[in-house]
Structure 1
Amino acid sequence: MNAASQISANVMQDFKTGYLTLTSPQVMLTGQIYGIILGAIINPCIYYAFKETVRDKQPIGSLKSEFPCPYAGVYRAIGIIGMGGVKELPKHCVSFCTVAFFITLAMNSFKLVSQKKGWTIMNYLPSMTALALPFFTGPYVAIPMCIGSVVVYVWNKVDGQSAEVLSSAVAAGLTCGEGLFTLPTALLTMKKVRPPICMKFLSSGKELGEMDSFLSSFASANS
């Protein structure tokens, strides 16, 4: 029932967009049907490709998997809470949420007051929604969004007119390109194609010491 309601809500939103863009409702409905049929065929194939390329034993979608899905943990937590109630939450979770709620309420109230008064500080107050986003999705979305925001800010400073016209198109292309490139990556992994160079960041400790000794011995052997 929930899945059907979600799809219906998405279709209604598409119809609203189609009304604004003078798109035929019949064409949009036909496109939705074709999309569902193609998705029912292509999506299992894509999942199978990901499943065949996983080298570790971690389940697909977990945070430690090669192909993590941050939202999966969120929906799993929602399901657990829905079945078990507040007692299923981690320790101090309710206290943390209460404090965060009042901080958000105070911050948004102060932002509204600063806008009414015309205070300059309103331009430097953060968006609490943007601050909450990394808690839901992890760094996979927050870091690219931060980099993109910095790029758009610099772009506006250099050439504001072109940034206003082209920034949305560039962002859409980068987002689609990142999503589509996962499929050729999976195919290359299935064919056991390895990149000619790799990079890894290690924390200080035993693992870093072993890597240093290996590189030292490797350099001595080649000298």
Structure 2
Amino acid sequence: MIIVCKLTYPSGTATATLINSFHTPKGSILARKQISCLLKCFSISFLWSMFKWFFSGGGEAICGFDNFPSLGMTAFTNTFYFDFSLPLIGSGMICPLIVDCSVMFGAIISWGVMWPLIHKRAGEWYPADSGSKNFQGLFGYQVFFSVAMILGDGLYNFVKIWVLTIKSIYSVRKNLNNHNRGSAGYNEDLSPEEKKRNYVFLKDTIPLWVAASAYVFFSIMATIVVPIIFPSLSWYHILTCFIGAPILAFCNAYGAGVTDWNWETAYGNLGLFIFAAWVGKEEGGVIAGLAACGVMLNIVGSASDLMQDFRTGYLTLSSPRSMFVSQLAGAAMGCIIGPLTFWLLWQAYDIGDPNGLYRAPFAVIYREMAITGVQGVSSLPKYCLSFSCALFAISILISFARDILPNRVARMLPIPMAMAIPFYLGAYLAIDMFVGGLIVYVWNRLNASKAKIFVPAVASGFICGDGVWVIPASILALAKITPPLCMMFVSSKQAPSLQD
């Protein structure tokens, strides 16, 4: 993939470019400026998150800057408000502008048009007294519409990348046969620099028997252990996962090299439906589907991540064996740090609370997908399946149009998977990300060279600062220390009642 197919792996290439720039006199000066900018933005984000914490008390009350009705109370009711979330602004700065615009378009379509119209059908299409998180009510439309669009885009790209993979392999093999080339790393047409990279990259390869033996060993371990943890899965279910996963992992690694998108969720969804339906409702198909999805996600996702790192190592003249060992060390650390971090958050916050800080939205979506796999869709509200099928088809058509239309037209079309995000989460997410994208757009217009250098540092600082604040906030929550103030906003009509 790296030497013969010459796939770019954009994230790995960008990382390598940044690392290589550190080893030049000009690069070291630039790196210091970037680090200084990152630290400033990190400090701003950390202090801002700490400041917001003081006003977010009140228990079940809607308090704090995260619920600031900046666009008015009516818009706030439909989740259209700016919540001063620097991490989401940073995410919008990192994402391409088309992603930010797609998320905003999805928010307008869903919370601005679809949900208000469907809400008017309460009592006709679904029970008027259904709760806000009842799947027989409006919540069912929100979840399954987003699932339909994610599955449509994911399935299209699943098929597309399979076709590209087969076509590319055939083309490479045909090209090698026609020109009678020997080892791909020693082509006479290569530049001296590329020959050196190929030599370093190939001299420390991992023997095939080591990779195969390790995969077989871990397959056997998983086949024994996973059914003990999840009794609804049998050994042959896990064995099937490990037999099919390498094919999907190869496809995902290839797709990441071409598009820089990791489609592990699409492959995980595929496994979720297959195994949930295979096990069945009576035998615990929901848990079985979710567990099998987790197995598929880890195998398929790891292949893409490792190939990105191999690409970085190739461009920085690093040993691929050392890159792999580093991955193993990181995985071993993650086996300890990951559960401890989860325990800290689990003890400090109500994970999964629909109205809480950590709502875990995709947990709900994946669970409902598993339920659909074993139960069908007969319990959904009226016309939910019909609309979901229509959105599924529209998602595929949009993705197809983005590939066949001229670039000047295709780049204006939204990305269905990005559109689906606010369908369930809310429009405030789209507003934050769009603000981040708008900042980058204006910055590029004013000074494109500086924007290219400092945008990643600013965005990373915004994201990391708030992330680090989670640690002291969790410690305070564990110590039963709550924020001292509750800042709330009400309409002017409600204000007199508060005085009473």
TM superposition score category, shorter chain reference: 0.7 to 0.9
Q: Indicate which of 359, 363, 388 corresponds to 1:72.
A: 363
Map of 1:39 onto structure 2: 338
Root-mean-square deviation (CA, aligned residues, Å) is 3.0
* Residues 81 and 89, structure 1, Cα contact 8 Å, conserved in 2: no
Letter in 1 for 2:452: E
Map of 2:469 onto structure 1: 181
Query: More displaced, 38-47 or 103-112?
Result: 103-112
Once residues 303 and 429 of structure 2 are traced to their aligned partners in structure 1, the CA distance between those partners, rounded to angstroms, is 27
Q: Indicate which of 377, 386, 402 corresponds to 1:95.
A: 386
Once residues 440 and 372 of structure 2 are traced to their aligned partners in structure 1, the CA distance between those partners, rounded to angstroms, is 39
Q: Indicate which of 309, 314, 326 corresponds to 1:18.
A: 309
* Residues 352 and 360, structure 2, Cα contact 8 Å, conserved in 1: yes
* Residues 344 and 474, structure 2, Cα contact 8 Å, conserved in 1: no
Scaled by the length of structure 1, what TM-score is found?
0.72
Query: More displaced, 103-112 or 130-139?
Result: 103-112
* Residues 348 and 474, structure 2, Cα contact 8 Å, conserved in 1: yes
Once residues 100 and 125 of structure 1 are traced to their aligned partners in structure 2, the CA distance between those partners, rounded to angstroms, is 15
Instruction: Return the offset for 1:91.
Output: 2.4
Map of 1:194 onto structure 2: 483
Q: Indicate which of 153, 159, 165 corresponds to 2:447.
A: 159
Deviation string, structure 1 residues 33-65 (Cα, Å, up to 9, x no partner): 1111222233213311225xxxxxxxx312223
Letter in 2 for 1:184: P
Once residues 107 and 30 of structure 1 are traced to their aligned partners in structure 2, the CA distance between those partners, rounded to angstroms, is 42
Letter in 2 for 1:194: P
Scaled by the length of structure 2, what TM-score is found?
0.35
Instruction: Return the offset for 1:177.
Output: 2.8
Query: More displaced, 62-71 or 133-142?
Result: 133-142
* Residues 61 and 67, structure 1, Cα contact 8 Å, conserved in 2: yes
Q: SS of 1:16's equivalent?
A: helix
Instruction: Return the offset for 1:110.
Output: 5.8
Q: SS of 1:194's equivalent?
A: coil
Q: SS of 2:418's equivalent?
A: helix
Map of 1:218 onto structure 2: none
* Residues 134 and 142, structure 1, Cα contact 8 Å, conserved in 2: yes
Q: Indicate which of 352, 369, 373 corresponds to 1:82.
A: 373
Once residues 113 and 82 of structure 1 are traced to their aligned partners in structure 2, the CA distance between those partners, rounded to angstroms, is 32
Instruction: Return the offset for 1:187.
Output: 2.7
Deviation string, structure 1 residues 64-97 (Cα, Å, up to 9, x no partner): 2343222222122112212211224332112212
Instruction: Return the offset for 1:193.
Output: 4.6
Deviation string, structure 1 residues 4-26 (Cα, Å, up to 9, x no partner): 33222232223212211115211
Once residues 100 and 192 of structure 1 are traced to their aligned partners in structure 2, the CA distance between those partners, rounded to angstroms, is 46
Deviation string, structure 1 residues 91-129 (Cα, Å, up to 9, x no partner): 21122123324444555566567626x56xx66543333
Q: How does 1:60-139 map to 2 (within 5 A)?
A: 60-104=351-395, 107=398, 115=406, 124-139=412-427
Once residues 298 and 442 of structure 2 are traced to their aligned partners in structure 1, the CA distance between those partners, rounded to angstroms, is 38
Q: SS of 1:210's equivalent?
A: helix
Deviation string, structure 1 residues 184-220 (Cα, Å, up to 9, x no partner): 2233344525355x43233566x44423x35xxxxxx
Map of 2:431 onto structure 1: 143
Once residues 389 and 476 of structure 2 are traced to their aligned partners in structure 1, the CA distance between those partners, rounded to angstroms, is 47
Q: SS of 1:87's equivalent?
A: coil
Map of 2:329 onto structure 1: 30
Unaligned runs of 5+ in 1: 52-59, 215-223
Unaligned runs of 5+ in 2: 1-237, 239-291, 314-319
Tell me: CA distance 1:163–1:99, structure 2 relative to 1, closer, same or farther (3 Å).
Answer: same
Higher helix share: 1
Once residues 159 and 180 of structure 1 are traced to their aligned partners in structure 2, the CA distance between those partners, rounded to angstroms, is 31
> Percent sequence identity over matched residues?
31
Structure number with higher relative contact order (C-alpha < 8 Å, ≥ 6 residues apart): 2
